[in-house]
Amino acid sequence: MAPRSAAKSGKLKSLGPKTTKKTDGVPEIDPNSSFTPKSFEEELKALAAKAKDETWARFAKEQAAVYLKSIVLLSLIAVYSNVSQLALSPVYGSIPSAQWHAKLIMAACFTGWSSNMLLSRALPFKLATLLPVIAIYIPTVQFFLYKASALLTAYWGPLVTEALTLFPLMSISAACVATYLDDVDLSALPSWLADAAPGLGSYGFFKAAEKLSGSLLAPHVGKSFFNTRLGLETVLAASYALLAPSRLLLFTVPALLHTAFLNPHVPTSMALASLNSSLASEGWMILDRQESITGYISVMESLTDGFRVMRCDHSLLGGEWVKYIGQGQFKGNKVAEPIYGVFAMLEAVRLVETPHPTPDYEAKALVVGLGVGTTPGALVAHGVDTTVVEIDPVVYKLAEKYFQLPQNHTAVIEDAVSYAARLANETSSVDNRFDYIIHDVFTGGAEPIPLFTLEFLQNLNALLKPEGVIAINYAGDFALPPPKIVLQTIRRVFPSCRLYREHPRGEDDFEKSGRDFTNMVIFCTKLTRAISFREPTARDLLNSPSREAFLSPRNEVKDTDFVAGQDESILTRNDTQKLTKWHETSALGHWTVMRTVLPPVVWEAW
């Protein structure tokens, strides 16, 4: 676009010498005038320069406005891309939520960019005024679609939900940006580049803003209302309304009322009370909930069966029976009854026979991953000096408040990878090492890859005493390669290992579904001798029926039990694709399992 001339004829009236008129109408130069041809030329040049300056200033202002509007729209939709994924994770888990996301974003960009002229001409109002209407309705649409998640499944549910929420917001944003950028001046560029630059530049800016906003949001999720899922959606909807106000906002009143008074996902006490009143008929109650850096965390209690669990997005971190506390034979117990046998099995690190057994009162233990605190609680009950490393402060707070986590332990709220690396570098004597290490991390249907790499396990090895024992809880599908890869990585670090499943494989179910998802515990030592377990004593069992049934490891896993992953590859920090490519399949299977552990309404009504 070339700048337009700003010179007006009115500005030239003062040019030239002052004149007078004779009676006959013939002009005559005023003898007192200082006019000369030279001064006239200089005045003309000055006026032309001023007109030119005004033209370029206005042109630059117009161009800046176009770019600013485009940047604002692209930034808003980039943030919403991350918020949309956060909103889906409690119902579908983070991995299934992401499986269609990138493809849907690209489709929305192409659709909006290619149809901007058609949409602009077809609508009787400005296209941008649709954006706040869509943004305000998104929480309501999500609410109703979540109720259909059991029907939609974790495979199609995220696609359908974002197709009806994020897709229209993204495509109309792209159409608006395309319309704005029609007015940019790219005459300085070659024609082939001028045609492609707006689209490529917009998409590049969007991806950069998406990545940056995601990294900025992640550490602050849940710290205030405005950092929660519904809070962020509300802030973004308000931003769109300020950007493109119109009378169309009157049509958003039903959605606003629904979000304010009927949406249980709003993090307010009123919404929680309303949610609990509806869950009570299903036999459930939410004791507490908070959004945090690892996901949506809540503590739920079964009113009919008498147990309590902690949830993180669409998986469970652990659970304990509460109906037995202080009752009958359990009166005076220092530990809770776990609802999952695997947590009792982890305590068998104390049963592994070593050449020189360490008394409990002299032993030190490191627990990586707190969950609800069942295992560290048992170690403390035995008198073991226990350190717990947990990345999520909300998980620690709720475990301490609602579960039987004892006070006399050391808590480290930090990423275990950085903690282990730092401590391994600082360790110079046996006094700084541990007799037992419990590695118990899992969420969302897939292992947190950094905590199963060769490098992390080598750091744990450095923290383990020469006769120490490590127990690693791994949950996975034996029909897929990841469990075998993880085992091979562990064996590369620890020379002696034995594996045990929580439950034996159900052959009939395996034949029907092709899935074999289970918890297993891998016991390892730094010694070359074979691992053996002593018989548990009454003191080991802590007056606990769960420990009587599960403390002594059973259901040993042999190499022939692995259906897939027979190659000799291991997992390293720089080669994590070995596992990530299987995460989607594993997470989808885990989602199905979780829907049988707790009823769908509990997952959907987060």
The class that CATH gives domain 57-264 is mainly alpha
Q: What is the reported pLDDT for 97? A: 97
Does position 20 have pLDDT exceeding 80, yes or no?
A: no
What fold, for 341-531+544-599? Rossmann fold (3.40.50)
Crossing angle (nearest 10°) for helices 482-493 and 577-597 = 120
pTM for the model stands at 0.87
Q: What is the reported pLDDT for 516? A: 82
**Average pLDDT of 462-485?**
92
Q: Is the distance from CB of 106 to CB of 594 less than 8 angstroms?
A: no
Q: What is the reported pLDDT for 250? A: 97
Q: What is the reported pLDDT for 59? A: 81
Number of Cβ within a 10 Å radius of residue 346? 28
Q: What is the reported pLDDT for 223? A: 94
> Edge-to-edge, what's the strand order for the sheet holding 284-292?
284-292, 295-302, 307-312, 315-321, 337-338
Q: What is the reported pLDDT for 506? A: 80
Q: What is the reported pLDDT for 8? A: 39
Q: What is the reported pLDDT for 108? A: 97
CA–CA separation, 99 and 158 (whole Å): 8
Query: Comparing C-alpha atoms, which of 347, 344, 294 is closest to residue 319?
Result: 344
Q: What is the reported pLDDT for 14? A: 46
Under the banding of pLDDT at 50, 70 and 90, the label for residue 6 is very low
**Average pLDDT of 186-204?**
91
Name the segment(s) of the chain with CATH classification 3.40.50.150.
Answer: 341-531+544-599
Does position 364 have pLDDT exceeding 60, yes or no?
A: yes
**Average pLDDT of 350-378?**
96
Segment among 37-51, 103-117, 316-330, 375-389 with least mean pLDDT: 37-51
Does position 102 have pLDDT exceeding 70, yes or no?
A: yes
Label residue 374 exposed, middle or buried (CB < 10 Å: 0-12, 13-18, 19+): buried
Greatest CA span in the chain, whole angstroms? 133
Do the strands 337-338 and 315-321 form a parallel or antiparallel pair, or are they unpaired? antiparallel
Does position 487 have pLDDT exceeding 80, yes or no?
A: yes
Give the CA count within 13 Å in the CB-facing half-sphere of 381: 20
Does position 18 have pLDDT exceeding 50, yes or no?
A: yes
Does position 1 have pLDDT exceeding 50, yes or no?
A: no
Query: Comparing C-alpha atoms, which of 40, 249, 255 is closest to residue 141?
Result: 255
Which of helix, strand or coil describes residue 498? strand
284 vs 447, higher pLDDT: 284
Q: What is the reported pLDDT for 253? A: 98
pLDDT tens digits, residue range 232-262? 999 999 999 999 999 999 999 999 999 999 9
Name the segment(s) of the chain with CATH classification 1.20.1250.
Answer: 57-264
CA–CA separation, 231 and 79 (whole Å): 13
Query: Comparing C-alpha atoms, which of 276, 296, 314 is closest to residue 229?
Result: 296
pLDDT tens digits, residue range 488-544? 999 999 999 999 998 888 888 877 887 888 889 999 999 999 999 999 999 999 999
Under the banding of pLDDT at 50, 70 and 90, the label for residue 28 is low
568 vs 513, higher pLDDT: 513
Residues above pLDDT 90, as percent of the chain: 72
Q: Is the distance from CB of 313 to CB of 221 less than 8 angstroms?
A: no
Does position 46 have pLDDT exceeding 90, yes or no?
A: no
Segment among 139-148, 399-408, 552-561 with least mean pLDDT: 552-561
Segment among 87-101, 197-211, 588-602 with least mean pLDDT: 588-602
Q: Is the distance from CB of 95 to CB of 582 less than 8 angstroms?
A: no
- Mean pLDDT of the chain, nearest integer: 90
Q: What is the reported pLDDT for 577? A: 87
Q: What is the reported pLDDT for 10? A: 42
CA–CA separation, 72 and 202 (whole Å): 11
Does position 4 have pLDDT exceeding 50, yes or no?
A: no
